[in-house]
Amino acid sequence: MSIDLAAEWLRSARKIVVFTGAGMSAESGISTFRDQEGLWQHFRPEEFGTWTGLTRMFLAHPERAADFLYALLEPIAGAKPNAGHLAIAALERHARVTVVTQNIDNLHQEAGSTLVHEVHGSLFEIVTQDGRFVRCVSRQEMASIATALGRIRHGRCVLPRTLVAIRPIAGIGIHGRYRPGVVLFGDAMAEPAWGDSVDAVCHCDCLIQVGCSNAVYPAATLPREAKAAGAKVIAVNPEKGEADVWLRGTASDLLPKLLEAAFGSP
């Protein structure tokens, strides 16, 4: 069975990369952007997926911009690691594990993974426009912002009230402009996370990709790089993708089963 073959590869691997996309956190209540109820069904990425587009939207249609921010922040602010995140953290007991994630939700770190490269940045790390670190934001602070946005977005004076509500994560301060350190369309990948990820992928024995459509570049090139360097590639996804073994199903169901098949404990 394919899970047994994947388990055998995990047992014999010294270095494992777990490469995760939006599907990894779907069962934590954060929809992927491209699925039926995903963000891009309600907000066009051309308008909301770049910093210039977002700024324009704020000035021209502040209620739409507030709606977008609420839709983005509210699920992430309330999310907890699922059984899949916990299984990936537990894998560290058996091998050297590097997590390379496209997600911005901090759930791998919360689950206990110790080496996490966030190639699309983090919603919880506030940076200046030129990428200098300003501060970290807690999930609780994010939840307060989401609650405030939920009240404001259908009321009056949306623009000034939204600007006040999001002040902990975006605005102008003593360092100049600041905002969450996330990678939007057209931005460069987050560094040093991206360079470190390419390095980890080229030196691993096995790569498990979880919840990745591989439609977002250049992140999508990583499984192919791993394969070219001689690693086995396992995919965990309800939808078929490119891999040596495809485990068809969800992250929170299959990752604990894979760990159990490999090491006898979930």
Applying CB under 6 A, the residues found at the interface with ligand NAD are: 21-23, 25-27, 30, 32-34, 38, 102-105, 120, 210-213, 215-216, 236-239, 250-251
Whether residue 94 contacts residue 265, with contact meaning beta carbons closer than 8 Å, is answered with: no
CB of 239 to ligand NAD, least distance (A): 4
Least Cβ distance, residue 29 to ligand NAD (angstroms): 10
Distance CA 77, CA 229 (A): 38
Rounded Cα distance between 157 and 6, Å, is 55
CB nearest ligand NAD: which residue? Answer: 23
* Residue 175 annotated among the catalytic residues of the structure: no
Pick the closer one to ligand NAD by CB: 39 or 204.
39
Strand 121-128 versus strand 176-182 pairing type: antiparallel
Instruction: Evaluate whether 247 touches 254 at the Cβ level (below 8 Å).
Output: yes
Which of residues 32 and 98 has its CB atom nearest to ligand NAD in the complex?
Answer: 32
Q: Is 140 helix (H, G, I), strand (E, B) or coil?
A: helix
Q: In the numeric block, which tokens belong to residue 229?
A: 């360097």
Of residues 72 and 226, the one with the C-beta less far from ligand NAD? 72
**β-strand partners of 94:** none
Q: Cβ(126)–Cβ(135) under 8 Å?
A: yes
Question: Which residue in the list 42, 94, 120, 203 is annotated as catalytic?
Answer: 120
Least Å from the CB of residue 160 to ligand NAD: 29
- The 8-class DSSP code of residue 120 comes to T
146 versus 158: smaller Cβ distance to ligand NAD: 146
Cβ of residue 248: shortest distance to ligand NAD, in angstroms?
10
The residues that are catalytic are 120
